[in-house]
Amino acid sequence: MTLRMKLLASAVVVAAAAFAGPAQAQVKEVQMLHWWTSGGEAAALNVLKQDLAKEGYAWKDVPVAGGGGDAAMTALKAMVAAGNYPTASQMLGYTVLDYAAAGKMGDLTETAKAEGWDKAVPVALQKFSVYDGKWVAAPVNVHSVNWLWINKAIFDKIGGTEPKTFDDLIALLDKAKAAGVIPLALGGQNWQEATMFDSVVLSTGGPEFYKKAFNDLDEDALKSDTMKKAFDNLGKLKAYVDPNFSGRDWNLATAMVIKGDALVQVMGDWAKGEFKAASKTPGNDFLCFRFPGTDGSVIYNSDMFGMFDVPADRKDAQVALAKATLSKSFQSAFNVVKGSVPARTDVPDTDFDACGKKGIADLKKANEGGTLFGSLAQGYGAPPAVANAYKDVVTKFVHDQIKTSDEAVTELVKAIDDAK
């Protein structure tokens, strides 16, 4: 390039800069919609609020109570329809993809590349946080649902041993019943019942069956005798639940186990966050076992911060949120409190308790062994319409509006087929 051309080029650059105008004044605030309103969940969220405050970002909380997030997603739909995009929202897998397909999400790809997310975040999560080659969400954690949470004092009192089969679990529940303790703590809400049924199906039919039925939505699997047997097993569990279970919030069911009013809860490991918030420790106050017959497999869901296409003056705050979420320090500090495991594979388990360490080890093994499956109840098995159809059939069976396992199988096949 001649000297004259260089001078001309630099003159163009100077002129352009003069007309660029002042950089957009940025709003130093993160507006987050979420459903983390229990003790353990709020404690975990505080870790993020404090991290962002250190960087000068205020937190505009948009909490929508209701375990499992259905109410929150209804509120989000209204906000987005009104054009009032939050900086981000807690979302589950297929819901992220729905909003991305609707063109509502921002593009975090530049930040993701700079921060090396593609190397640290498992492919199973990238399937939901990357849409059309763009990063649209920041994975916060990996929860898994195929757990038993057991009160250790009761377990010892009744001479319990870790149940390895579904029949062992029934025998353990019988021992609790004989001791006059509520055997199974359940919240009678559709998402909780379906979250428990995820584990029953995996236990009854095994990994390949779970994948075919609840990830591939294979009709032969859905209408099989194995699915009927799974409903039979769910029917057996119903006999161990207290009469006041209907409508109970999940964390109140967890509190029953914490207080020793009940022996066991089948629940995702967000329940561990409640034990931790109550200063309970694994091995002393409670035990965490994989749901019997599911050891070696992990039924997962991941909380993601779906990042919306916010106005230019809110982009810096969104990038700060994304970076804070995937920072290694946050990924350890948050998940230790939340009960989940990191969304990055390069975070040490140093600060995690025994259940957290087991969760991290199980996820690694399942990820490498092809036994990591998306939870249908928790937004990672199929799109929301199918998941809602599933939850509806399961809750009707648990609350005796569907009388038999055969009828439940027929209803399930029809409901999922109609929702696809």
Given the complex with ligand GAL, which of 40 and 163 has the nearer CB atom?
A: 40
Smallest distance from ligand GAL to CB 56, Å: 27
Phi, psi of 68 (to 5 degrees): 85, -15
Q: What is the DSSP string of 343-388?
A: SSTT--STT--HHHHHHHHHHHHHHHHT-EEE-TTTTSSS-HHHHH
Tokens read off for 156: 């010892």
- Going by C-alpha positions, the residue among 58, 84, 98, 210 that lies closest to residue 144 is 210
Smallest distance from ligand GAL to CB 353, Å: 18
- For ligand GAL, the binding residue among 27, 33, 41, 298 (CB under 6 A) is 41
Cβ(23)–Cβ(52) below 8 Å: no
Smallest distance from ligand GAL to CB 273, Å: 8
Q: Which residues contact 242 (CB under 8 A, 6 or more apart)?
A: 182, 185, 262
- Coil, strand or helix: which one is 104? coil
Task: Looking at residues 239 to 268 of the shown chain, list those that interact with ligand GAL (rule: CB under 6 A).
Answer: 250
Task: Looking at residues 117 to 156 of the shown chain, list those that interact with ligand GAL (rule: CB under 6 A).
Answer: 143
Task: Looking at residues 339 to 398 of the shown chain, list those that interact with ligand GAL (rule: CB under 6 A).
Answer: 378
User: Which of these ranges, 33-41, 121-129, 227-235, 254-262, lies near ligand GAL under the rule CB under 6 A?
Assistant: 33-41
Nearest position to ligand GAL, beta carbon: 67
Given the complex with ligand GAL, which of 68 and 139 has the nearer CB atom?
A: 68
Q: How many residues sit in the footprint of ligand GAL (CB under 6 A)?
A: 13
Given the complex with ligand GAL, which of 73 and 173 has the nearer CB atom?
A: 73
Residue 198 found at the interface with ligand GAL (CB under 6 A): no
Given the complex with ligand GAL, which of 26 and 46 has the nearer CB atom?
A: 46
Smallest distance from ligand GAL to CB 377, Å: 9
Site string for ligand GAL, 279-308 (x = CB under 6 A): ----------------------x-x-----
d(CA 280, CA 260) in angstroms, rounded, equals: 12
290 has which bridge partners? Answer: 147
Number of neighbouring beta carbons within 10 Å of residue 258: 23
User: Which of these ranges, 67-75, 123-131, 207-215, 290-298, lies near ligand GAL under the rule CB under 6 A?
Assistant: 67-75
Given the complex with ligand GAL, which of 190 and 233 has the nearer CB atom?
A: 190
Q: Buried b vs exposed e over 18-50: b needs ≥16 C-beta within 10 Å?
A: eeeeeeeeebeebbbbbbbbbebbbbbbebbbe
- 177 burial via Cβ count (<10 Å: 0-12, 13-18, 19+): middle
Q: What is the DSSP string of 397-409?
A: HHTTSS-SHHHHH
Tokens read off for 57: 């970002």
Given the complex with ligand GAL, which of 172 and 307 has the nearer CB atom?
A: 307
User: Which of these ranges, 45-53, 63-71, 306-314, 344-352, lies near ligand GAL under the rule CB under 6 A?
Assistant: 63-71
Residues that bind ligand GAL (CB under 6 A): 35-36, 41, 67-69, 92, 143, 250, 270, 301, 303, 378
